[in-house]
Structure 1
Amino acid sequence: MRKLAAAAAALAVAALLGIYLLWLGGGASAPTTIMVEEGATLTSLCPGLERKYLVPGNCTTYRAMARLLGSPDPIQAGEFEVPAGTGGAALLELLQHGRPVQRLITVTEGMPAISVAEKLAANPYLTGATPPIGEGSLLPDSYGYERAEARSAVVRRMQTAMTRTLEQLWPERSTDCPIVTKEQAVILASIVEKETGKPAERPTIAGVYCNRLRIGMKLDADPTVIYPVTKGKPLGRRILKSELNAKNGYNTYRIEGLPQGPIANPGRASIEAVLHPAPTKALYFVADGTGGHVFAATLAEQQANVAKWFALRKARGQM
């Protein structure tokens, strides 16, 4: 009897060991992506996992092992990348406690609406048509999205972020710039965004344009000339004289005040610069050859700075 009991115990241990090894084993031979809907359970998810050879044995066996050896925690919703060879135990841990795939789409500061629309349309993981996007309506940032999410939903999040940012910043604005609406702030911020690649210059650039608006002086901003030609994309050449003379609602060499609308999607820093411009007497600026600008309060100073800039460009073989 003792021998029989010992043999039975040995068989039981062996069986348990076999179950445990089976629980640890399994897994597909290649990485696999799975989508888990909100409210999914291991029972509802298991047939799909079995078809992809992700679970050891079959669903009945896997669910039984999960009840016996796994955690009772719920399954998460999201997209999961399952590495090749992931065993049954590791798969359940991934679905319950792992990090879903984080997908991001980034709108850079100063990116025009046409480029955002192209970026959304080219994304293979989004669905549906890209809705019309008003220039300046999106806040540049990185936005998370789910696989198969609608492009229109992503656009709404970008637009909501801009609306909230303006609502937050507008009440704290200074009175140093003669803009009276949030829409005007976005228009001017889009020009500031396009004029400089140096963050530290934004408040001073804004200060120059605020000074010009205050005294009724035309903005003479090159990016506003380019916008009707390229819809905000890089021009890739020098501005033509005909473009400087073009009559439209954007060319600030021909019209007084702000253009009829934004020329890009400005970032938070440029909006803040317009709402809190640097105190400056400058009315002019020109490139300094380092990616920044040199500022001037008088036309004579500006002409001298322009002469230096032209001489530098000539020395570099750019003229």
Structure 2
Amino acid sequence: MKWFLRIFFTLVLLAGWAGLGLLYVDFTLGSPKRAEPVQLKIPPQTSLEGIGRILEEKGLIRKSTFFRYYVIWKNKTNLRAGNYEIAPGETLDQMLTRFAEGKENTVRIDVIPGFTAYDIADRLTKNGLDGKGFLKALNDKPPKFAFEKSIPKHPQRPYKLEGYLYPDTYYFPKKEKPENIVNAMLERFNEQLVKLDIERELREKSPLSGKKMTLDQLVTVASLIQREGQVASEKPIIAGVIYNRLNKNKKLQVDATIVFMYRMKGQKIKTVLERMYYEKHPYSTYAITGLPPGPISTPTKVELEAALHPQKHRYLFYVTRDDGSNLHYFAETDQGHRANLQKRERNRKSAQANSQ
């Protein structure tokens, strides 16, 4: 009889421990209460352990320790990569079903370096998001980041936040509010602002000779560099040319500002014609002296660094080589610039001869 009681109580004890274990596993895989949707990205070829860690980091499960075993037990191991928005009340089982079916509910938006606000709005609209609302939010939304308060309001500037919409790949819910889209891009810019310590550097040393430089002026210069140079190694040199001309009170004569001027008019041009140089417009650096009212594109970290740390030299001119290298010829004088123009013309003729 004693041996029977011992076996009985041992089985009861084991069952109790098993029950507690199951409760613990259930607790760790439980999803804490959430008030807002959670954006989630599962990269391609992520392991089950990796997916578990992502869910834990996002606060969708408490612990990922038993996630892999749970997924195997549920026979849902074929989880697909993608971008998902997890609703506040969505359970782990519901998530696994969606991951297994690959039902994404976000939109991918690629903001390419050099894009304007117009380009971003077009891309949003083509992907079913509110492009018009996005443009409106660039001027109307309340500031979220400290740097926004320093951006000047200029009556001839089409969009206050032009230039601050950092190039990157973004994922938005299909009905995302325009203000949230703008803030996501500004957040990426703010990250670069902090990483590069731009505001401190501008306080300590200005690239402009004898003048303090604002963040907005720096971003404007960076946007010019972005549109003018394609090779990273040349960008600090181009930055130096821009500052040399600004410090000598010379017109910048940057063709990219003409392209932006026409974009403001609703026209997309690829080639700047000579007659366009004579049009009077606040963004035409052939018509005005100094910087335009604001940035003309979305610069990246590379251009921001070039604007912050330009190469020191005496160049006042540059012209594309047109030899397929995407490089420029640089010159200190009008005479040197004219010689470079002749070099470019020879390169063009050589390219035409080789193509025949």
Q: Aligned-pair distance for 1:102?
A: 7.5
* Structure 1 pair 103–213 and aligned structure 2 pair: CA distance change class (3 A): same
1:236 maps to which of 270, 276, 282? 270
2:342 maps to which of 304, 307, 310? 307
Q: Aligned-pair distance for 1:164?
A: 4.6
1:13-162 residue pairs with structure 2 within 5 A? 24=75, 36-41=86-91, 74=92, 80-83=98-101, 104-124=108-128, 129-132=133-136, 133=138, 134=159, 135-162=162-189
2:199 maps to which of 158, 165, 170? 170
- Letter of the 1:117 partner, please give it: A
Contact 2:84 2:104 in 1 (8 A): no
Q: How many residues align?
A: 244
- Letter of the 1:82 partner, please give it: A
**Cα distance in structure 2, aligned partners of 1:193 and 1:125:** 27
* Structure 1 pair 306–101 and aligned structure 2 pair: CA distance change class (3 A): same
Task: Specify which structure has the bigger relative contact order, considering alpha-carbon pairs within 8 angstroms and separated by 6 or more residues.
Answer: 1
**Cα distance in structure 1, aligned partners of 2:252 and 2:216:** 17
Q: Aligned-pair distance for 1:307?
A: 0.5
Q: Secondary structure of 2:242's match?
A: helix
**Cα distance in structure 1, aligned partners of 2:284 and 2:132:** 35
Is 1:292 matched with 2:321?
no
Contact 2:262 2:268 in 1 (8 A): no
Q: Secondary structure of 1:235's match?
A: coil
Q: Aligned-pair distance for 1:163?
A: 3.9
**Cα distance in structure 1, aligned partners of 2:164 and 2:98:** 33
Provide the residue aligned with 2:19 in structure 1: none
- Letter of the 1:38 partner, please give it: P
* Structure 1 pair 75–279 and aligned structure 2 pair: CA distance change class (3 A): farther
Normalising to structure 1: TM-score of the pair? 0.66
Gaps of 5+ in 1: 1-21, 28-32, 42-73, 85-98
Contact 1:34 1:79 in 2 (8 A): no
Q: After the TM superposition, which segments of 4 or more aligned residues of structure 1 sit over 6 Å from their partners?
A: 76-79, 99-102, 125-128
CA RMSD across the alignment: 3.4
**Cα distance in structure 1, aligned partners of 2:339 and 2:96:** 60
* Structure 1 pair 126–226 and aligned structure 2 pair: CA distance change class (3 A): closer
1:275-290 residue pairs with structure 2 within 5 A? 275-288=308-321, 289=323, 290=325
Contact 2:172 2:181 in 1 (8 A): yes
1:162-311 residue pairs with structure 2 within 5 A? 162-166=189-193, 168-173=197-202, 174-178=205-209, 180-231=213-264, 235-237=269-271, 239-288=272-321, 289=323, 290-311=325-346
Q: Aligned-pair distance for 1:250?
A: 1.1
**Cα distance in structure 2, aligned partners of 1:78 and 1:206:** 51
Q: Secondary structure of 1:294's match?
A: strand
| 165-174 or 280-289: bigger deviation | 165-174
> Identity rate of aligned residues, in percent?
29
Q: Aligned-pair distance for 1:204?
A: 0.7
Q: Aligned-pair distance for 1:172?
A: 2.3
* Structure 1 pair 296–117 and aligned structure 2 pair: CA distance change class (3 A): same
**Cα distance in structure 1, aligned partners of 2:88 and 2:214:** 42
Q: Secondary structure of 2:344's match?
A: helix
Q: Secondary structure of 1:82's match?
A: helix
| 112-121 or 137-146: bigger deviation | 137-146
Contact 1:136 1:262 in 2 (8 A): yes
Contact 2:206 2:213 in 1 (8 A): no
Contact 2:258 2:277 in 1 (8 A): yes
- Cα deviation per residue 1:66-108 (whole Å; 9 max; x = unaligned)? xxxxxxxx56869934349xxxxxxxxxxxxxx9887542211
**Cα distance in structure 1, aligned partners of 2:85 and 2:311:** 50
**Cα distance in structure 1, aligned partners of 2:247 and 2:221:** 13
